[in-house]
Amino acid sequence: MVILTTALDPDPDVVLLDQLPIKAHDVPWSEGIVALEAGSGIGALKEILREKPDLFGTRAVKGTNGDTKPWTAAEVYSWIQCYLITHAHLDHVNSLVLSAGSMSGSPRRIYAVEQALKDIEGIFSDRLWPNLASWNEKECNTALIYSRLHADDLYKDLSDHLSVRTMPLSHGKDRAGGAYKSAAFFIRNKTSGHELLFFGDVEPDSIASQPRTIDVWRVAATKIPHKLSTIFIECSWPKGRSDQLLFGHLNPEHLAVELGVLASEVMKVRQDAVAKERSSKSQPPRKKQRRDSGSPSTLRGALEGVRVYIIHCKEDLRHDFDRPINQVIAEQVRALIKVQELGVEIIAAEQGMHIRA
């Protein structure tokens, strides 16, 4: 379980991971939090606030002369306005299910693609869990409202300040061999236009029956680095995990390849922009450059200014490593891409981290 703090602007603010609370930086937390994923819940939040009591700010104590005290985990949790879910695996929806019965106030929306919402509906069946969710947008007497996201190129409002564009991802196969889908989100601060890119669980394009990550990279490439400089992506396994045992996730070898693909897409965008400018000035075109080699020299600096946060690392239950697994995996990714000098910063996401996105 990880909880992060982040904002969508160059100011220190907060987001959670496995449940990332997000807000625009210039708005207080109490005005409403978008919970990105719902894995870890109020227990994790309590633990974090024990270490960093002021993480979500403080409030004045009545009857004192300016004394303040930190918000409690329950108060912070109650500020969740909506959930944004990549797919309905339990490690991503656990806390929205468990907390649904005890949340007061107006219903919270669950934003996800229709299949993920239907999967969640299977939990709120009045058997596995009481039915606390409704498809009726106007229903007041419910804890949660299912709200469909469509994988198109439009941004849908999540709150007054944030909007999201959804793209599908491949996340392994079910027992019958059918493709299982997850999602990537481009989350935009509506005022500044700045975005972050968040990946739900994802398998490598090189082994997916339908490669979809390439489409996400192509969109991201047009925004890097000025509109988009923060990416959250999973790397569930450490180096050496075989393709047969990835179960729809990434390992450092595959993540390194994916980052190389992103870097070459960024270079293509830049080369196209140069060519366009040249043609608008009616200059004769230069010799066509090779654009697909992916060699270190052609990609050098392509991802300058981009930070990639590694999330969703599976616990090292056998104690194969003497350091935390997220740090081990981040270090392995760094070592694998070093020679390409992409300029990207690889960071192990930690619980309670402050991120400026």
Q: Which residues bind Zn ion (CB under 5 A)?
A: 89, 91, 201
Q: In this structure, which amino acid lies at residue 264?
A: S
Question: Angle at which helices 325-337 and 252-280 pack, to 10 degrees?
Answer: 50
DSSP 348: E
Residue 9 or 201 with smaller CB distance to Zn ion: 201
* Closest C-alpha among 178, 238, 237, 185 to residue 208: 178
Provide the minimum distance between the beta carbon of 93 and Zn ion in the complex, in angstroms, as a whole number: 10
Report whether 43 contacts 94 (CB < 8 A): no
Residue 201 or 253 with smaller CB distance to Zn ion: 201
Provide the minimum distance between the beta carbon of 252 and Zn ion in the complex, in angstroms, as a whole number: 17
Provide the minimum distance between the beta carbon of 172 and Zn ion in the complex, in angstroms, as a whole number: 8
Compute the residue count for the chain: 357
Beta carbons within 10 angstroms of residue 254's beta carbon: 23
**Cα–Cα distance measured from residue 217 to residue 164, given in angstroms and rounded to the nearest whole number:** 16
Residue 89 or 194 with smaller CB distance to Zn ion: 89
Residue 201 or 265 with smaller CB distance to Zn ion: 201
Residues paired with 157 in a beta bridge: 163
Residue 15 or 93 with smaller CB distance to Zn ion: 93
Provide the minimum distance between the beta carbon of 87 and Zn ion in the complex, in angstroms, as a whole number: 6
Provide the minimum distance between the beta carbon of 197 and Zn ion in the complex, in angstroms, as a whole number: 17
DSSP track, 77-109: HHTEEEEE-S---HHHHHHHHHHGGG--SSPEE
Contacts of 330 (CB under 8 A, 6+ apart): 235, 310, 346, 347, 348
At 38, list the tokens.
Answer: 């719902």
Provide the minimum distance between the beta carbon of 211 and Zn ion in the complex, in angstroms, as a whole number: 18
Residue 89 or 161 with smaller CB distance to Zn ion: 89
